[in-house]
Structure 1
Amino acid sequence: MHIPPASFRVTPYGEVDAKALDSLRQNFEIAQLLNVVDQLDACLAEIGGVDNIRDDFLRLHDMAMTLLECSPLTVATSDVDSIWEEAMSLQEDISTLRSCLQAGSELLSSLAALAPD
C-alpha cells in the first residue's frame, strides 16, 4: 500500500503546507521583512505618524461641521489652509501610507500561503 507524503508539516508555529514551506525556503529572502519595517518607519516619519493622520481627520471633521452644518468655528482659521487643501494633503499622506502597506501586504502573501489545505 502506497501512503502519500503528508501535505503539511508540523512546526513550532503551527501546521504549514509542506510544498509552500519548501518553496519559501528556496525563494524567500527573510531580510525583506526587515526592509518592510524600515520602509514603514520611513513612511510614517514622512507623514508624521498614524496619530497625525487621525488628528488631520478630526480637524477636517471639525472644519466640515462648520462649513456644512453651520456649527461654531472650532478650528482657528489661522492654523489651517483651506478645507480642500487640508483634504488633499491628507489624501497624499494616505496614498503614501497605502503604498507602504501594499508592499508589506504583498510580501505577507508569501507567508500566508503556508496555510495548510
Structure 2
Amino acid sequence: MHIPPASFRVTPYGEVDVKALESLRASYETSQLLNWVDRLDACLAQIGGITSIRDDFLRLHAMAMTVLEGSLLTIATSDVDSIWEEAMTLQENISALCSCLQSGSKHVAPLAALAPDY
C-alpha cells in the first residue's frame, strides 16, 4: 500500500501547505512586510492618521445633518471649508488609504496562500 506524502506541514503557527511553503521559502522576502509597515506609517502621516479620518467623518456627518436635515450648527463655520470641499478631502484621504492597504494586501496574500488544502 502506497501512502502519499502529507500535503501539509505542521509549524509552530499551524499547518501549512507544503508546496506553498517551499515556494515561499525560495522567493518571499519577509523584510517586505516591515518595509510595508514603513509605507503604511507614511501614508497615515500624510492623511493625519486613523483618528483624523474618523474625526473627518464625524465632522462631515455633523455638517450633513445641518445642510440636509436642518439640524442646528454643531461645527463652527469658521472652522471648516464648504461641505463639498470637506467631502472631497475626505474622499481623497480614503482613496489614498485604500491604495496603501491594497498594496499591503499584495504582500500578505502569499502568506494567506499557505492555507492547507486538506
How far off is 1:106 after superposition?
1.2
Q: TM-score, normalised by structure 2?
A: 0.97
Give the gaps of 5 or more residues in structure 2. none
Q: Does 1:9 align with 2:12?
A: no
Secondary structure at the aligned position of 2:85 is classed as helix
Q: TM-score, normalised by structure 1?
A: 0.98
Aligned pair count?
Answer: 117
Cα offsets for 1:2-56 (capped at 9, x unmatched)? 2211100000100000000000000101111001100000000000000000000
What is the aligned partner in structure 2 of residue 23 from structure 1? 23
What is the aligned partner in structure 2 of residue 56 from structure 1? 56
**Matched residues, percent identical?**
76
Superposed CA RMSD: 0.6
Show structure 1 runs of 4+ deviating over 2 A. none
Secondary structure at the aligned position of 2:2 is classed as coil
Give the gaps of 5 or more residues in structure 1. none
